[in-house]
Structure 1
Amino acid sequence: MAVAAVAALFALVACEPGNGLSTAAVAITTDQTGTRELEKRGVDVQWLTCTASLGENSATVGSSPSVRSVASVDCVGETGDGRDISIKGKVTQEVNGTCVRGDLTATVGGKEVFRANVLGNCQAGTPPVDNRTTPPPGNPGATVTVTETVTRFPDPTCSCFEGK
């Protein structure tokens, strides 16, 4: 059932605007590759969860101008000993769940642990065998957040905005 839910999530975000960049894929891949990188550096990651949102930036490739999507990613978590974890930055590319490219900074307990322009292995053709699509029990996984702005105007016949 969890596999079906993940497949449905990726099917839904396949139509997401972003010139091939999906907020769900960015959030999940940053969560997984960021956790692995922190653990390689000796950080005991208790949990980590990431959200991503899309924005657009102009970029020039060679002599042809093009528009390239940029996702802002924001991850928060905690170490085994209770210190706060944060990974924040911009992602310009996500490759098959194996890596993200951009400008990312990780801090643990308020101290910078790494700054990277690549997390994971972008040369890999397929996701690694140990690449989980669902988090283990008791650990939160990647979270995709969609924000909608709703503007409401007061009803002129209602006095509810006058403290009555």
Structure 2
Amino acid sequence: MCERPLTERLYLIVRPADEEHGYTPEGALHPECFAYTKDECPVLNGTTRRYRDRSVLATHPAFRPCGDSSCPYPDKILPGADQAARLGQLVDRYEAWMIALDSYQLVLDNDDPTVPLGIALDVPILRRRLLREAALPEKAEALLAALRDLLGLQP
């Protein structure tokens, strides 16, 4: 994220789907960069319930077609399958895993080994921390709030 070389300890941002695939597509973070990211990212800090409904990379920054043939934004850059599947969906559960730098290993695409898919998750985890639970549908949230209120529990 900050372009500085990774150091002895680093954080990975991990969803359940990433664990199933065996890698996370998110970049590794220094502890300082992780602290900033978890506080500022609306997905990680819990201020949003849904992923955005369109890919930032799939549209022109001005949200209009571009007539410039050298422009990289029109419809030339498309979201990956994982990102496309999340568009507009409820946000997943997220964890932060601290790992040692010597456990950092890229996972490459089997069809094209020049393409990295992400960072391997079959590594020793030094610290595991819940960042946020998965967002529930609005009706389920309302039912849970009513149940908490009925039982006199804090949210």
Q: TM-score range by the shorter chain?
A: under 0.3
Please state which structure has a larger fraction of its residues in strand: 1
TM-score, normalised to structure 2, is 0.27
Greater relative contact order (CA < 8 Å, ≥ 6 in sequence): 2
